[in-house]
Chain A
Amino acid sequence: AQSVTQLDSQVPVFEEAPVELRCNYSSSVSVYLFWYVQYPNQGLQLLLKYLSGSTLVESINGFEAEFNKSQTSFHLRKPSVHISDTAEYFCAVSGSGGYQKVTFGTGTKLQVIP
């Protein structure tokens, strides 16, 4: 069995400040990890993913996440947030190697304050 924990349900941050959204996972097998973003009343969009290789993965809009196997974490960071980053962010985990079921976290709402 696998699980994902996003401890922070809401994270307020001022514009241009850095932000970290925390994600911890539990799994008995090797994992793939994902971050998705959801804007109000829309579907989710894949932000970035870790499958293998470099433990630091980046998105095209300045977010990055680092896979830390020893701490079973995959925290999402951005050095300077913009108003347009206001959204809900979901961490997800699946087993590696062929299709495995994906488990989503409960989400973190990022509120960027002008």
Chain B
Amino acid sequence: DGGITQSPKYLFRKEGQNVTLSCEQNLNHDAMYWYRQDPGQGLRLIYYSQIVNDFQKGDIAEGYSVSREKKESFPLTVTSAQKNPTAFYLCASRPTGEYGYTFGSGTRLTVV
């Protein structure tokens, strides 16, 4: 079945360490997105990519970086510059011409 795979589901890191969250899709969708979810704040857009080798900052890109070398993959790196990285991270994709997202099951990052 087609879908979005996020791994790992739970991730623990020490403060000051960079960490990379994986997002892989086999839906042949062009556009991919990273959102951060915090309790009571809804979803906030970190980065998005509408085509391979191109990506744009969202509303809260500071302290994060991404790459889009393959259509299927859109990894997110949470750097040590992100002041409050503990959150639930969601990856999503969307086919060109459609207006609803398909989401992955998320990665819960805890920084201690």
Contacts and interface: CB of A to CB of B under 8 A. Distances in A.
A79 to B, nearest CB: 24
Contact of A46 (B9, B40, B100, B104): B100
A54 to B, nearest CB: 16
The B interface is mostly helix, strand or loop, or mixed, namely strand
B58 to A, nearest CB: 8
B101 interface: yes
B16 to A, nearest CB: 27
Most chain B CB within 10 A, of A43, A99, A107, is at A43
Interface in B75-112: 90, 92, 94, 99-106, 108
Interface in A79-105: 90, 94, 99, 101-102, 104-105
B99 A49 contact: yes
Interface string A46-74: 10010100000000000000000000000
Interface string B24-35: 000000010001
B106 A43 contact: yes
A99 B50 contact: yes
A9 B40 contact: yes
A28 interface: no
Contact of B101 (A9, A42, A46, A105): A46
A41 B106 contact: yes
A90 B94 CA distance: 18
6 cross-chain pairs, A with B, having the tightest CB-CB distances, nearest first: A43-B103, A106-B42, A104-B43, A46-B100, A104-B42, A44-B103
